[in-house]
Amino acid sequence: MHNKRVLVAMSGGVDSSVTAYLLKSQGYECVGATMRLTCPAPDPTTGMSKVDRDIADAKAVAERLGIPHHVLDLQQTFDRNVVERFMNAYQEGLTPNPCIICNRHIKFGALLDAALDMGCDYIATGHYAKTSQAPDGTWQLHRGEDPKKDQSYFLYSLTQERLARTIFPLAGLDKERDVRRIAAEQGFTNAQKAESEDICFIPDGDYAGYIERRCGHPAAPGDIVWRDGSVVGRHNGALRYTIGQRKGLGVAMAHPVYVTGVDAANNTVHLGEAEDLAATALTANDWIWSAPADHMEAELDAGGIRVGAKYRYRQKDQAATLTRGAGGQMLLTFDEPQRAIAPGQAVVVYRGDIVLGGGTVTAAIK
């Protein structure tokens, strides 16, 4: 029996519900918490918004498990730290990942702070990832064992201090074979609840429309420019384009062409050939070590670190060398040329199945 107190982040979905069940079964004293991050309009047929339904689902599971449940209103914190950062990045021609921003500032920031304020020893979530403690007492963040569900890419901001306070009970479980089965066996009403695929505050996936509505005006039109500098068309908002995009360009060309750059300062979108998307390296800033920072910095000082790197979630590891770049940035040099690296993306580096750290791409180097 643990008798340790843990705050379980309960989204109303099946993963976090089974997380709470497993921890209670293991003897932890569980406290459920659901974050209210947005305030969408209610569904006219039910009178409830999706957020209200999720809170109700989480509360029902907590009641079934006999654990207390709290609703934490983090709307202002979420708006300031996630939504505004997301909007600003898009308006600067970047390609941000709001789920990574949310994990850093909300789930393992504000929610972890709330857990400690409630006297909890740990925070637990339904992420598919794994932690372990090395013999020297340091912590390691591992990939989830099911490669289709592994979410370690989104968790690189878990520093040593955060890893020591975090539990991922679903490590080693299969979503369909194990998690849904456990939920059904326990009589959870959300056992077959569908997964949320979209960004939670933009459920229709129309990022540009959302930003325009928030700003109160449409994005300014501008030029679409070919690789030789000639203007080949007009766009109705540079924020509608991202590097590597091939469809919906608003330009008729005789062969497939791609977005190769978004110049927010001049409000232009640049097009080119597939070969124009190739890069041999990238630079990144806002770097965070998940592995022990002093160990990693020593390896950098010794000449660099061999890593497997991902700058997109579903990407396979790409062999690369991590070294110090100019101006305090990191320089990641790939063994093989890479395609469509977009500033604003998260880049995460691994050693085998262990997350070493990550940062935000600032530039692709040809």
pLDDT at 2: 60
Tell me the residue type at 230: S
Q: Are 271 and 249 in contact (CB under 8 A)?
A: yes
Report residue 340's pLDDT band, with 50, 70 and 90 as the boundaries: very high
Q: Are 5 and 121 in contact (CB under 8 A)?
A: yes
Q: Which of 30, 99, 120, 200 is catalytic?
A: 200
pLDDT in tens, 223-270: 999 999 999 999 999 999 999 999 999 998 999 999 999 999 999 999
Instruction: List the strands of the sheet with 231-235, edge to edge.
Output: 231-235, 222-225, 268-272, 258-263
pLDDT in tens, 343-360: 999 999 999 999 999 999
Average pLDDT of the chain to the nearest whole number: 95
Mean pLDDT of 321-338: 97
Task: Provide φ and ψ at 217, rounded to 5°.
Answer: -160, 155
Residue range(s) of every CATH 2.40.30.10 domain in the chain: 277-365
Q: Is position 215 annotated as part of the catalytic site?
A: no
Provide the whole-model pTM: 0.94
Task: Provide φ and ψ at 137, rounded to 5°.
Answer: 95, -10
pLDDT at 210: 95
Whole-number Å distance between alpha carbons of 300 and 357: 13
Buried b / exposed e over 307-331, threshold 16 CB at 10 Å, is bbbbbbeeeeebebbbeebeeebbb
User: The tokens of 92 are what?
Assistant: 């600067």
Whole-number Å distance between alpha carbons of 60 and 55: 9
pLDDT at 192: 86
Q: What angle do CA 218, 219, 220 make, to 5 degrees?
A: 115
Considering the chain, what percentage of its residues have pLDDT values greater than 90? Answer: 88
Q: Which of 30, 99, 102, 120 is catalytic?
A: 102
Q: Are 321 and 333 in contact (CB under 8 A)?
A: yes
Query: Per CATH, the architecture of 5-126+169-185 is what?
Result: 3-Layer(aba) Sandwich (3.40)
pLDDT at 47: 85
pLDDT in tens, 190-219: 888 888 767 899 988 999 999 999 999 999
Please tell me the least confidently modeled range out of 130-144, 177-191, 302-316, 350-364: 177-191
pLDDT at 39: 86
Superfamily in which the 220-272 domain is placed by CATH: Adenine nucleotide alpha hydrolases-like domains (2.30.30.280)
Residue 28 has pLDDT above 70, yes or no: yes
Residue range(s) of every CATH 2.30.30.280 domain in the chain: 220-272
Report residue 41's pLDDT band, with 50, 70 and 90 as the boundaries: confident
**Beta-bridge partner residues of 69:** 32
Residue 1 has pLDDT above 80, yes or no: no
Residue range(s) of every CATH 3.40.50.620 domain in the chain: 5-126+169-185
pLDDT at 127: 96
Question: Burial of 153 by CB count in 10 Å (0-12 exposed, 13-18 middle, 19+ buried)?
Answer: buried
Mean pLDDT of 318-328: 96
Count of H helices and E strands in the chain?
A: 10, 17
Q: Is position 200 annotated as part of the catalytic site?
A: yes
- CATH for 277-365 is 2.40.30.10
What is the DSSP track for 283-313? EEEEEEESS-HHHHHHHHHTT-EEEEEESST
Whole-number Å distance between alpha carbons of 95 and 239: 9
Report residue 147's pLDDT band, with 50, 70 and 90 as the boundaries: confident
